[in-house]
Structure 1
Amino acid sequence: MSNASINFNLTDWLGDWESFEHYIDAEDETVRNTWNEAERAVLANPQMATMAANGIRKFWAMACSTTSPENIIHIGYWTIGEPENTDADVRITWYAEDNTNLDAYDYRIDHVIEHGLEGSPTYVFVTDDPHAEDSPFRWLIAIAPLPSRTAFAEGGLLSHLHFQYANDLHTLVEADGSGTEVLRNPRWYATMCADEGTAEDRCRIIRALHHLD
């Protein structure tokens, strides 16, 4: 395992994940009512009102889109498991909305960006699988799941993480004037949430996102 992997806790990543886009597009009445509550709160805050100018769900749909210039298929789900290769840190299977298996790769942690998504330490994953040479999922950057995946079982919020992906790392990051790596698109917050719980648990995520609790 590389030095960058020392603080990597695979346990927090293991399991099934679903796109936050499902929350945005949900038809469940409880979830929709929570979005309406969030929109009213945002519109009432002069510092945040522009977020909801065209509807708060439209804002998050843009920010959290799972498509990319290299991949027009929405990512519906991930399954994260133990890697098959001893040199890798994690295995991720990418699924479309209809559960079509798009790709499955072992990823190793190449390095960590000190201030990446949300200004937090961000893992830079890459797959060495030769079949991924032209894949849009060859490089993946992601923050560690928050809160810990085990927190939900103890009454906490569902775990979630933000990520970006591309065939080439330079599509995602660039060096600033001091040589420090920064995100090329800091407003892209593709998001996965632990695929468990109820509609009310999803509402708790939406409320927390808008500081409603």
Structure 2
Amino acid sequence: MTDTSTSFNLTDWLGDWESFEHYIDAEDETVRGTWDEAEQAVLANPQMAPMAANGIRKFWAMACSTTSPENIIHIGYWTVGEPNNADADVSITWYAEDNTNLDAYDYRIDHVIAHGLEGSPTYVFVTDDSHAEDSPFRWLLAIAPLPSRTAFAEGGLLSHLHFQYANDLHTLVEADGSGTEVLRNPRWYATMCADEGTAEDRCRIIRALHHLD
């Protein structure tokens, strides 16, 4: 059973986004130092220590990978804008790490999964663009950005969101024994973060993720 009542606020999505993989692979000394601090904190917690058994950044690199069986190219960025099609809810341009335009589509909300990514309401987007028939970005699952993008200007954290994508919806979801729609891979957390701020702002995200403050 799906939930279609969750309101959609396009304003929170508009703008440029960058992959969380940039945080994981960062060479900036401040960011790397924050990752080291996070790893020590995780290793000191018996319940969380297995996460860092092979290195905390390696753990998040696997969980937050932007590649998929249908797409071997890492997604570096999104640009989210207002749709051109009156029947659509949002426009997303997908970019590779080198800023190559991979695809750009208008998406409409097909429905909402009540308990999807992070157990939260998850939008199920689809593009009706005929050119997307074979695209790995035809279907998109995503939670609403948290916090609101306006929060950063008011001293809050950078906004981020989790997503999954595929050419076919059934690659991403299935019905459980009760008929409820659930994720096939609830451990895949491809993530986009608002593409703004400084290295220190990125460190605040890493610190919040590991409850360091």
1:5, 1:163 → 2: CA distance? Answer: 19
Aligned Cα RMSD in Å? 1.9
Deviation of residue 99 (structure 1)? 0.1
Once the two structures are aligned, what percentage of the paired residues are identical?
A: 92
Deviation of residue 5 (structure 1)? 7.3
The answer to whether the 8 Å contact 1:5/1:109 transfers is: no
The answer to whether the 8 Å contact 2:95/2:102 transfers is: yes
Could you list the structure 1 runs, at least 4 aligned residues long, displaced by more than 3 angstroms after superposition.
Answer: 1-6
Q: 1:87 to 1:55 in 2, by over 3 A?
A: same
1:103, 1:5 → 2: CA distance? Answer: 29
Determine helix, strand or coil for the equivalent of 1:62.
Answer: helix
2:74, 2:25 → 1: CA distance? Answer: 13
2:41, 2:161 → 1: CA distance? Answer: 24
**Corresponding residue of 2:201:** 201
2:15, 2:2 → 1: CA distance? Answer: 23
Aligned residues: 213
2:136, 2:121 → 1: CA distance? Answer: 23
The answer to whether the 8 Å contact 1:107/1:125 transfers is: yes
The answer to whether the 8 Å contact 1:2/1:109 transfers is: no
2:5, 2:14 → 1: CA distance? Answer: 16
Deviation of residue 2 (structure 1)? 14
1:11, 1:101 → 2: CA distance? Answer: 23
> Deviations along 1:85-137, whole A, 9 cap, x unmatched?
00000000000000000000000000000000000000000000000000000
Deviation of residue 3 (structure 1)? 9.6
TM-score normalised by structure 2 residue count = 0.98
> Deviations along 1:44-75, whole A, 9 cap, x unmatched?
00000000000000000000000000000000
Q: 1:108 to 1:5 in 2, by over 3 A?
A: farther
Structure 1: stretches of 5+ with no match in the other structure: none
1:165, 1:187 → 2: CA distance? Answer: 14
Determine helix, strand or coil for the equivalent of 1:46.
Answer: coil
Structure 2: stretches of 5+ with no match in the other structure: none
The answer to whether the 8 Å contact 2:160/2:193 transfers is: yes
2:3, 2:193 → 1: CA distance? Answer: 27
Determine helix, strand or coil for the equivalent of 1:37.
Answer: helix
Deviation of residue 4 (structure 1)? 3.7
TM-score normalised by structure 1 residue count = 0.98
Deviation of residue 6 (structure 1)? 6.3
The answer to whether the 8 Å contact 1:91/1:105 transfers is: yes
Determine helix, strand or coil for the equivalent of 1:8.
Answer: coil
> Deviations along 1:115-170, whole A, 9 cap, x unmatched?
00000000000000000000000000000000001000000000000000000000
